[in-house]
């Protein structure tokens, strides 16, 4: 699981990261056309650094990234509640979901959806791998520009991450060609969640 970004991302300055930077609980599932399932997670993210940090989630719990994959478009979702959280859904064979937190921020996203290809249904203890990074570039451009400029979430927020309302903005690569991704990684987390049938 921890290699979900391998091959599509150049990681720099890798370290383990704060133990409590990411906590997660399983929050149910929604069946899609078999063998796909959407799994939901309640996650709390803490940025204890003095600078902004990206928190990067896989788009799939079970399907690995391709070695040559990149990103061809980004959809930005805005979740309200107590404060506001922006999530970038980076699409393509090297895709991922990412949230940018300002320094000393703490946010909770309830029912964060992650799809899963499951010929055999997942059950029991499962890691939710998260990469923490100081920067992301796609096609040599900062991820913030792909998200429309202002990408940071509020420093304190608790929201429900429902994506059913559609994105508030989107950006496509020229001719929808996948662009290479580079991440300056500062740490990783892998909270263990108990997936129940």
Max Cα distance, the chain (Å): 44
pLDDT score for 66: 64
What are 164-176's pLDDT values in tens digits? 778 999 999 999 9
φ and ψ at residue 176, rounded to 5 degrees: 55, 35
Q: Are the beta carbons of 4 and 58 closer than 8 angstroms?
A: yes
Indicate whether 197 pLDDT > 80.
Answer: no
What are 140-150's pLDDT values in tens digits? 999 999 999 99
pTM value is: 0.89
pLDDT score for 178: 95
Q: CB within 8 A of 197, min separation 6: which ones?
A: 121, 123
pLDDT score for 2: 41
Residue from 189, 94, 98 nearest 142 by CA: 98
Q: Which residue ranges make up each domain of the chain?
A: 9-195
Indicate whether 19 pLDDT > 80.
Answer: no
Indicate whether 162 pLDDT > 70.
Answer: yes
pLDDT score for 13: 39
pLDDT score for 15: 46
Task: Give the CB-side neighbour count of residue 42, counting CA atoms within 13 A.
Answer: 8
Greater confidence, 102 or 67?
A: 102
pLDDT score for 4: 46
């Amino acid at each position: 699981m921890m290699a979900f970004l391998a091959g599509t991302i150049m990681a720099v300055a890798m370290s383990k990261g704060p133990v409590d930077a990411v906590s997660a609980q399983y929050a149910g599932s929604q069946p899609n056309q078999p063998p796909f399932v959407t799994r939901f997670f309640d996650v709390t993210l803490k940025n204890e650094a003095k600078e902004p940090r990206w928190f990067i989630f896989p788009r799939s719990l079970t399907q690995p990234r391709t070695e040559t994959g990149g990103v061809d478009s980004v959809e930005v979702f805005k979740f309200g509640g107590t404060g506001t959280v922006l999530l970038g859904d980076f699409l393509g064979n090297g895709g991922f979901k990412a949230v940018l937190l300002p320094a000393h921020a703490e946010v909770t996203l309830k029912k964060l959806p992650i799809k899963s290809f499951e010929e055999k249904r997942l059950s029991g203890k499962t890691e939710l791998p998260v990469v923490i990074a100081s920067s992301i570039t796609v096609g040599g451009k900062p991820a913030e520009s792909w998200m429309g400029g202002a990408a940071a979430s509020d420093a304190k927020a608790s929201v429900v991450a429902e994506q059913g309302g559609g994105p508030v903005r989107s950006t496509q690569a020229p001719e929808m060609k996948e662009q290479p991704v580079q991440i300056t990684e500062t740490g990783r987390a892998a909270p263990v969640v108990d997936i129940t049938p």
